[in-house]
Amino acid sequence: MPVLVTMVRRYVLVAVALPLAAKGLAALGRRVEASRGEGKLSSALQGGSRLISRRKDDEKRGKH
């Protein structure tokens, strides 16, 4: 039973939480960039979004 719970948690993390976090970071980065202009903060937020998206894609393909 614990193995099944672990698998479900991992699936929820990869399928739901990471895409939502990536979209949230990207939206926040765009909003900051729109109000303050391009800067380190907006670049970092959008870079974080790309990193999460890339890791999510790697998880789907089975790469770690």
Map out the domains of the chain as residue ranges. 2-61
- Confidence (pTM): 0.65
Q: What is the pLDDT of residues 11-50, one digit of tens each?
A: 888 888 888 888 898 999 999 999 999 999 999 988 888 8
Instruction: Specify burial of residue 29 (Cβ count, 10 A radius: 0-12, 13-18, 19+).
Output: buried
Count of CB atoms situated within 10 Å of the CB of 35: 8
User: What pLDDT is attached to residue 31?
Assistant: 93
Instruction: Specify burial of residue 21 (Cβ count, 10 A radius: 0-12, 13-18, 19+).
Output: middle
Residues 34 and 46 sit within 8 Å (Cβ to Cβ): no
